[in-house]
Chain A
């Protein structure tokens, strides 16, 4: 399958700074970051706790406003982007949260369907089938109609992965997606991400502490006290 056409690099960050708090309590959490990620690659983002990994990831995902600097995703500048354009862009991402953040009232299949139905004009049947297929790929074919409360932490995390990937996102941003998974499941997810990169040009940036994932990453970004080391 031919991937969508968009300018390389897919992620282009320049002079990115971010602060939390204000005045005396203000904390500088991202310091003058700049990097570019090419289409189709799997990049690991590592660093100590509090180094700014999750903050960077959520800024790239359009979940936090860009305070200073430039973040271009798929050719669109996030700094000063309008709410409607931001919603449109978010539909082209797949975001895997550190906590699974599943909707507690929806079944596994319904949660994953939400990842498809966010795009306009998708028929219910198509979304239902796509959701079931994604869950089967992640080994949850027999838990389609279970609520998150009835699934284990690892199973919920796999549902969250399926939800992020089912809509064929152009960029996947993942915050420790394998932390709650056993070795086999974690490798299954990483292999899936790699395969999507190779076949569909999906660009993945994931926060991880897992050395097994680092071995399979195309590139590694290391954050230390908000600054990029490599």
Chain B
């Protein structure tokens, strides 16, 4: 380590030697930095889980345009869309296919455990509306009451889910009907349900007798190859006369859903606040660690200043310490934070996880703030006469 830092900084690695000299304090400083990182990483992981969970169902489908009711802020909420608008859209020369998407919540009492399955009803005869990995077993949904069930649903044992297949279907009771799971999909628990289920629109309507085939929750459209999405959207907005219908690109609908979950839903606001608190507490801890360290060595720095060493030299020492503390504190922080998230994911079946970008951002932020803290802590040194500090 000494050689590496000497090579990097081209001088004695004073920062590292200072830290190493008092192992107890060094360990305490690293613990502080690690704790700060755990706080931020866990909060980010929780925040990220909401984003992942919110957009997860969008990944089940393939579409270019989605038509939704005015109050349909997310995929799973809002009013219905009259089927006639799908037919109207199909009159557009660039619209190749249209499908009504039905959404409802199916509670399953599994041996005393309530499992709420967010259920999508689709037209199994149009496989191009579902993602490629779901297409293989799609035709099996044509048998009434057949379903594809979420093998990662909260409350469904993994080994039991793994055994589900066309040759070994699993039957269960829900909404007074016997449903047969003939295949599985990969979803996972979200904040609005314990998992997902895919059924044919006919099965959906039998599960929800109050719903009508003429009024799906959303209309999905596929365009002809090479069609301009924006131009098609403009034409559809002009030709569909119902005021307030949301006619959006599918990707835009997904992004707006996520934004709504983050900024309008209490969970999103709470998680965002959690990240903010985590970052603030983390910053305070790192600032405290660096300022304490600099204060401990201020007299030694003053001696070096008296010998003719100048501000860039001390800045170099602070950067060196910040790098060592930031990096060595980050690694256990990352390990502990990841461990906590894995545990939480196991318990809740929520997709708690960190992205590489988050990890890199927290590492860079830790080192950067550690440097800033060190610079602030050494500001006395810049301007004071050495004898004022000796």
Interface residues of A (CB under 8 A from B): 58, 61-65, 83-84, 87-93, 95, 97, 101-106, 110, 113-115, 117-118, 124, 147, 163
Contacts and interface: CB of A to CB of B under 8 A. Distances in A.
Contacts of A90: 306-308
Contacts of B300: 101, 103-105
Interface in B1-23: 6, 11-12, 14, 17-18, 20-21
Nearest to B16: A105
A87 B114 CA distance: 74
A122 to B, nearest CB: 10
Interface in B295-315: 299-300, 303-310
Of the candidates B14, B21, B309, B386, the one having the most CB atoms from chain A within 10 angstroms of its own CB is B386
B385 A84 contact: no
A95 B17 contact: no
Give the dominant DSSP class at B's interface: helix
Interface in B252-300: 299-300
A88 B308 contact: yes
A177 to B, nearest CB: 15
B24 to A, nearest CB: 14
Nearest to B382: A83
Contact of A58 (B14, B308, B387): B387
Given A58-B387, A63-B385, A65-B385, A103 B14 contact: yes
Contacts of A95: 306-307
Of the candidates A114, A147, A163, the one having the most CB atoms from chain B within 10 angstroms of its own CB is A114
Contacts of B306: 61-63, 90, 95
B301 to A, nearest CB: 9
B387 A64 contact: yes
B164 to A, nearest CB: 63
B227 interface: no
B390 interface: yes
11 contacts: A63-B386, A63-B390, A87-B309, A90-B307, A97-B303, A113-B12, A114-B12, A114-B304, A118-B307, A118-B309, A163-B307
Interface residues of B, number: 22
A103 B304 contact: yes
A117 B11 CA distance: 8
A106 B17 contact: yes
Contacts of A104: 21, 300
A110 to B, nearest CB: 6
A165 to B, nearest CB: 12
A104 B296 CA distance: 11
Nearest to B386: A63
A114 B307 contact: yes
B308 A105 contact: no
B18 A105 contact: yes
Contacts of B11: 117
B14 to A, nearest CB: 7
A106 B11 CA distance: 13
Given A87-B308, A113-B12, A118-B308, A103 B303 contact: yes
Given A83-B310, A106-B17, A114-B309, 5 more contacts: A58-B387, A89-B308, A101-B300, A118-B309, A124-B6
A97 B390 contact: yes
Contacts of B6: 124
Nearest to A88: B308
7 smallest beta-carbon distances between A and B, as pairs: A91-B308, A90-B308, A105-B17, A105-B21, A101-B303, A87-B310, A105-B18
Contacts of A113: 12
A104 B387 CA distance: 18
A24 B179 CA distance: 94
Interface in B357-390: 385-387, 390
Contacts of B303: 97, 101-103
A147 B304 CA distance: 17
A87 B310 CA distance: 6
A64 B299 contact: no
A110 B299 CA distance: 17
A124 B13 CA distance: 12
B390 A110 contact: no
B307 A91 contact: yes
Contact of A105 (B14, B299, B386): B14
Of the candidates B6, B303, B305, B308, the one having the most CB atoms from chain A within 10 angstroms of its own CB is B308
